[in-house]
Amino acid sequence: MQRFQHAIPAGLIALVGLWVCFVSYTQTPAAAFAFPRLISTVFVVLALWTFFKALRDGAAQEGGFSRQEIARILPGLAVAVAYVFWGAKFFGFYTGTTLAFFILLTWYDPADHRQLRSWVMRAIITAGFMAVMYCLFALILNVYTPREIWS
Amino acid sequence: MSRRTRALGIGTSVGAIIGLIPGVGGQIAGLVAYDQTRNFSPEREKFGTGHSEGIIAAESANNAMVGPSLVPLLTLSIPGSPTAAVLLGGLIIHGIFPGPNIFRDYPEVVWPFINSMLIGQILMCVFGLMIAGLAANVARVPRAVMAAVVLALAVFGSYSVQLSMDDVFVMLVLGAGMYFLERYGYSAAPLVLGLILGPIAEGNFVEGAMIAAAQNGVLPYFFTGTLNMVLIAIVLGSIIYSVWLEMKNRNQGRAL
């Protein structure tokens, strides 16, 4: 897995390129799709080059993620996905953001979770930040946000 | 020349050139300058860790593009940055439509406009030096707080542009995708450039192809003339340079 991890993004990009290329070459009239054809052909050549390079060089390439890093990032990403695709609409923007903010802060805060003081600090930071956000977006900029359970 | 001075030079030059391109913002200028400075730096591996060269290049490009972004704004009515878009709105509200004739028709507006930019740069330098120390404290904010703040601001910011959740979805997918891709060595600059310049390039290409079809044909139209040849030479030079750099890095890697 570690050896081929560079090939995964390169392969996905090559697949996207091939799909765009296929779509552009199967559409008519040809003159209207000249630009997408030109660009997607160059895109596919470069993407395939990158893909085969990733396969050839394997784990010798720079960058990438270790398992520990993936394990550290995934919970935060899961919270972000749940918040954006469900929480923000279901709870309303401000309640959803408050929950996501507090969960993220708690998850990544290195402070001892057994101490009451750390929970109070996180609650104060969350409340302070959300107060600033509410003043800025709701009171000053008058941005209408989804309210859902509060509507 | 010190490495920081070189980073400042690259950032300023790239920012000034990119500022002239219609519709390209400061983020692109910063990313391109950052990439170029990294290519020339002997400490490439330190980029992405808060290395001073990268910061100098990105920020100097971001500032340097502001002045030149007024060129497409004043001559073509095309804003080169969000600030220029606000200025365009202000001019239109006052009944002034920027274009090639604006220097002749409204000199009392244009020259104070340009002079105020110069004064603004000097004032920004003074205030920048005064508050730089204070602003540096942002770097001391714990990562847990920063992660939560960035996510909330990104969601609110992307939503408030058009009051659309679709924009928020796109922001999250592209943001998360690009976070992973950057770790594998992919740069965000070409992607953003493609998204912004793609429609402009396509429109002009189709227009050019139609003119070419009505004249001598596509090949003579696109591949003759001094300007065409210079631009093609720059593109080819850029590709050859990238391939050469790649081969050089590989050879150095083998030698180590």
- pLDDT (tens, 9 = 90+) of chain B, 256 residues, equals 688 888 899 999 988 888 887 666 667 788 888 888 888 888 877 887 888 888 999 889 988 888 888 888 888 777 766 667 777 777 877 888 788 788 888 888 888 888 888 898 889 889 888 888 888 888 888 889 999 999 999 999 999 888 889 989 999 998 898 888 888 878 776 776 677 667 777 888 888 888 888 887 878 888 888 888 888 887 788 778 767 766 776 676 665 5
Q: Which two tokens stand for residue B212?
A: 């070419």
B186: left (phi over 0), alpha (psi -120 to 50) or beta: beta
Q: Return the pLDDT at A44.
A: 92
Residue numbers in A near B253 (CB within 8 A): 60
Answer whether residue A2 is part of any domain: no
A15 with A82, same domain? Answer: no
Answer whether residue B130 is part of any domain: no
Give B191-194 contacts, CB < 8 A, sequence gap 24+. Answer: B192/B27, B192/B28, B192/B31, B193/B24, B193/B28
A73 with A141, same domain? Answer: yes
- The alpha helices in A1-151, defined as continuous H runs, are 7-26, 34-57, 67-82, 88-90, 93-108, 116-133
A135 touches chain B (CB under 8 A): no
Q: Return the pLDDT at A31.
A: 81
Answer whether residue A146 is part of any domain: yes
The pLDDT of A22-39, averaged and rounded, is 89
Angle at A43 between CA B33 and CA A65, to 5 degrees: 65
The least confident of A16-20, A49-53, A62-66 is A62-66
Cα-based torsion angle of the residue sequence B148, B153, B158, B164 in order, rounded to the nearest 10 degrees: 80
Distance from CA of A106 to the nearest CA of B (A): 8
Answer whether residue A18 is part of any domain: yes
Task: Choose among A77, A84, A108: nearest Cβ to B155.
Answer: A84
A92 with A37, same domain? Answer: no
Confirm if B78 and B106 have CB atoms less than 8 A apart. Answer: no
A117 with A56, same domain? Answer: no
Indicate the number of domains in chain A. 2
Indicate the number of domains in chain B. 2
Answer whether residue A46 is part of any domain: yes
Q: Could B183 and A64 be called an inter-chain contact, meaning their C-beta atoms sit closer than 8 Å?
A: yes
Among A20, A35, A37, A97, the residue to mutate for chain B (most B Cβ within 10 A): A35
Answer whether residue B33 is part of any domain: yes
Task: Choose among A63, A105, A129: nearest Cβ to B183.
Answer: A63
* Calpha distance B108→A116 (Å, rounded): 64
B88 with B13, same domain? Answer: yes
Task: Choose among A31, A63, A88: nearest Cβ to B155.
Answer: A88
Answer whether residue A51 is part of any domain: yes
Give tens-digit pLDDT for A72-87.
Answer: 999 999 999 999 999 9
A80 with A48, same domain? Answer: no
3-state secondary structure of A3: coil
Task: Choose among B144, B165, B198: nearest Cβ to A108.
Answer: B144
B187: left (phi over 0), alpha (psi -120 to 50) or beta: beta
Structural domain of residue A52, as residue ranges?
A: 7-60
Predicted TM-score of the model (pTM): 0.66
Q: Could B163 and A143 be called an inter-chain contact, meaning their C-beta atoms sit closer than 8 Å?
A: yes
B98 with B155, same domain? Answer: no
The least confident of A2-6, A138-142, B174-178 is A2-6
pLDDT at A127 over 90: yes
Of A24, A43, A60, the residue that ends a domain is A60
Nearest chain B residue to A36 by CA: give it: B202
Cβ burial of A131 (10 Å; 0-12, 13-18, 19+) is exposed
Residue numbers in A near B159 (CB within 8 A): 93, 143, 145
Confirm if A70 and B158 have CB atoms less than 8 A apart. Answer: no
Length of chain B: 256
Structural domain of residue B174, as residue ranges?
A: 141-186
Q: Could B159 and A93 be called an inter-chain contact, meaning their C-beta atoms sit closer than 8 Å?
A: yes
Answer whether residue B168 is part of any domain: yes
Q: Return the pLDDT at B193.
A: 64
Among A62, A84, A95, the residue to mutate for chain B (most B Cβ within 10 A): A84
- The alpha helices in chain B, defined as continuous H runs, are 3-20, 26-40, 52-64, 70-76, 82-93, 102-105, 107-135, 143-162, 165-183, 188-214, 218-223, 226-255
* Calpha distance B74→B54 (Å, rounded): 31
Chain A, 73-92: which have a CB under 8 Å from a chain B CB? 76-77, 80-81, 83-85, 88-89
Task: Choose among A5, A84, A105: nearest Cβ to B144.
Answer: A105
Residue numbers in B near A133 (CB within 8 A): 152, 156
What is the sign of the dihedral through the CA atoms of B96, B73, B120 and B196? positive
A19 with A52, same domain? Answer: yes
Answer whether residue B96 is part of any domain: yes
Of A41, A60, A79, the residue that ends a domain is A60
A89 with A144, same domain? Answer: yes
Nearest to A104 by CA among A69, A75, A67, A68: A75
A21 touches chain B (CB under 8 A): no
A139 touches chain B (CB under 8 A): no
